[in-house]
Amino acid sequence: MRSRPAAALLPLVGLAAFFALWEAFPRLDLVNPAFLPPPSVIPEAFLRELRSGQWLMAIGGSLGHYLGGLALGIVLGIAVGTLTGMSRTAEGLTAWIVRVLRPVPGLAWVPFAIIWFGVSPEAALFIVAVGVFWIVYFASHGAIRGVDRDLIELAAAFGFRSAPERLLTVVWPAATPGILVGVRTAIGQAWMAVVAAEIFGVAGLGQRMMQASTLLATDIVVVYMLTMALLYGVFDAAFTALQGWMLRWRA
């Protein structure tokens, strides 16, 4: 019983030690404070960004790319994954397309994104959506393919025989746990895509970080790193709660 509070404190102790060590390095001149700002200067940098309105604007821009790209990638990933998961013909037709396109990293799409959409929110949204699409597509395809044939037989035995009926009564519900795993991975990966897309100049956290780093304003860079970590934490926690509720039927 006594070890319980101690165990709960351990992560906090670890975090405190981490900040203490981080503070010590620039203070003791082990590294140049311009290269690594101590954490004690971060709150002040944050307040400056907040007062100037830069922080809210950056967050607003990034959230737009993030949520838009995420929504588009998730919807298309589930749609195409469902199609290829249910139809052997669709799976066969797309097999080599998938093999060719899959290994292309999200960043490699940046030139095309700029050519097609210019340096615009649409370009950022596109890059985020591409990354999300593949993750959700593979998760959905696998989950749909893996649906227990017995459940499909059950649906048929009670008269649900058309593809849309099968999809709604058993295939999608049965595949939901697998699809949600993909969505959760995508929620994390999409932040990386957001930063990557914005580094090329689309307004948002990534662009602000690049601006700050060219001015060696490393404290501001850290402000945005922490902002992103916080946003990711909030989204992941909210999604995990939603996932738990959606899968409350599991033992």
Partner 1 sequence: MAGLIAIRDLALTFTRDGARTTVLSGLDLDIEPGEFLAIVGASGVGKSTLLRVVAGLVPPSAGTVRLSDPEPGRRAVSLVFQDSRLLPWRRVLDNVAFGLEKLRLPRAERRRRAQGALARVGLADLAGRWPFQLSGGQRQRVALARALAVEPHVLLMDEPFSALDALTRESLQDELARLCRAYRQTVLFVTHDIEEAVTLADRVVVLAGRPGRIVAAHRVAGGQPRDRSAPELKAVAQAIREDLAGAGVSQNLQTAD
A 10 A CB-CB count for 42 gives 16
Find the part of the chain contacting partner 1 (CB under 8 A) among 46-54, 104-112, 130-138, 148-156: 148-156
Residue number, 176 or 211, with CB nearest to partner 1: 176
73 in Cβ contact with 133 (< 8 Å)? yes
How long is the chain? 251
Tell me if residue 35 falls in helix, strand or coil.
coil
Helices 110-117 and 172-198, packing angle to 10 deg: 80
Query: Is 250 a binder of partner 1 (CB under 8 A)?
Result: yes
Applying CB under 8 A, the site for partner 1 has a residue count of 19
User: CA 188 to CA 178: how far, in whole Å?
Assistant: 16
Contacts of 236 (CB under 8 A, 6+ apart): 184, 187, 188
CB of 78 to partner 1, least distance (A): 17
User: CA 224 to CA 206: how far, in whole Å?
Assistant: 8
Residue number, 96 or 249, with CB nearest to partner 1: 249
Kindly write out the interface string for residues 149-178 of this chain, putting x where it contacts partner 1 by CB under 8 A and - elsewhere.
Answer: -xx-xx-xxxxx----x---xx--xx-x--
Residue number, 11 or 159, with CB nearest to partner 1: 159
User: CA 2 to CA 153: how far, in whole Å?
Assistant: 53
Residue among 179, 197, 174, 178 at smallest CA distance from 126? 197
Find the part of the chain contacting partner 1 (CB under 8 A) among 121-129, 206-214, 217-225, 242-250: 242-250
CB of 246 to partner 1, least distance (A): 9
Residue number, 74 or 170, with CB nearest to partner 1: 170
CB of 167 to partner 1, least distance (A): 14
CB of 178 to partner 1, least distance (A): 13
CB of 175 to partner 1, least distance (A): 11
CA distances from 76 to 49, 73, 83 (A): 36, 5, 10
Binding to partner 1 (CB under 8 A) within 167-226 occurs at 169-170, 173-174, 176
User: CA 74 to CA 77: how far, in whole Å?
Assistant: 5
CB of 75 to partner 1, least distance (A): 21
The residues binding partner 1 (CB under 8 A) are 150-151, 153-154, 156-160, 165, 169-170, 173-174, 176, 248-251
